[in-house]
């Protein structure tokens, strides 16, 4: 199975770029399944039903979120009815929505997608390792499912790396999000799990992690807030990873970063496309 995971979509710039390019990416790369992180898609904070629909129509199969999942009030009213929109699984019991889902491709193959949120420098949610363990025990890789994608939405690379090794051999891909900067450690771990500490963002990189520069600079240099963060609106770079797996075992055969458009050096896509 060949799966594309695109990192945090930030604001209109990132959203428009994903919507414009995703259909062509699916065709050119012969993708079987696409997962995107949409937690910053609505003006940099949260996601709406209309944005979900636009991303699904563009070719996304599943949308995951993170710590900004509840920033748009309307999300609470529709997340229970949309099983293709996930929030971190380690929110307390009774929280709206779901942290994992099982999805069937047209040819009958199945993929499980799940998300947990780290606790280092983040909100103190329930244990993400225990949550991940429960999810992985529910799906037998290579038997019940041919691919398991686990997103860890976290601040600390050490916690994300620990999650990768904790899940090694039990998931196809463990991918980090949240810091909006693509890391250079894409690899297949010893047990066969593909891993990258952060797949980056889909947004304008002439920014401070996707936000227009003036307000973050004001807060860092003067410790004074002069207004809200606003997403940068320049040309976006799409960032993510492409993972190919062995359907028999569910383990990864390859992982390669994708960078397309905008300011970052391109990777993972044929030149001239």
Active site residues: 68
CA distance 28 to 260: 13
How do 147-153 and 110-117 pair as beta strands? parallel
Nearest to 241 by CA among 192, 165, 153, 177: 177
Sequence-distant (6+) residues with CB within 8 A of 95 are 87
Strands (E), the chain: 2-6, 8-9, 33-37, 62-64, 100-104, 110-117, 147-153, 173-177, 187-188, 194-196, 201-202, 238-245, 252-260
């Amino acid at each position: 199975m060949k799966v594309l995971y695109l990192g945090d979509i930030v604001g209109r710039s990132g959203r428009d770029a994903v919507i414009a390019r995703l259909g062509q990416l699916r065709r050119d790369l012969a993708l079987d399944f696409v997962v995107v992180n949409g937690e910053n898609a609505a003006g940099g904070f949260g996601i709406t039903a209309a944005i979900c629909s636009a991303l699904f129509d563009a070719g996304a199969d599943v949308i995951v979120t993170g710590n900004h999942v509840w920033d748009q009030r309307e999300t609470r009213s529709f997340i229970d009815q949309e099983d293709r929109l996930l929030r971190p699984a380690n929110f307390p019991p009774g929280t709206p929505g779901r942290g994992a889902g099982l999805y069937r491709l047209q040819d009958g193959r199945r993929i499980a997608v799940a998300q947990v949120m780290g606790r280092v420098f983040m909100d103190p949610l329930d244990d993400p390792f225990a949550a991940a363990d429960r999810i992985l025990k529910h799906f037998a890789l290579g038997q019940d499912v041919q691919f398991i994608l686990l997103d860890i939405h976290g601040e600390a690379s050490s916690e994300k790396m620990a999650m990768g090794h904790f899940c090694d051999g039990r998931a196809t891909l463990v991918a980090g999000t949240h810091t909006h900067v693509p890391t250079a450690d894409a690899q297949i771990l010893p047990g066969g799990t593909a891993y990258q500490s952060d797949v980056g963002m889909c947004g304008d990189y002439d920014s401070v992690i996707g936000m227009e520069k003036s307000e973050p600079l004001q807060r860092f240099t003067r410790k004074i807030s002069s207004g809200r963060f606003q997403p940068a609106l320049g040309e976006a770079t799409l960032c993510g990873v492409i993972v190919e797996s062995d359907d028999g075992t569910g383990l990864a055969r390859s992982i390669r970063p994708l960078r397309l458009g905008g300011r970052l050096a391109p990777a993972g896509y044929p030149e001239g496309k």
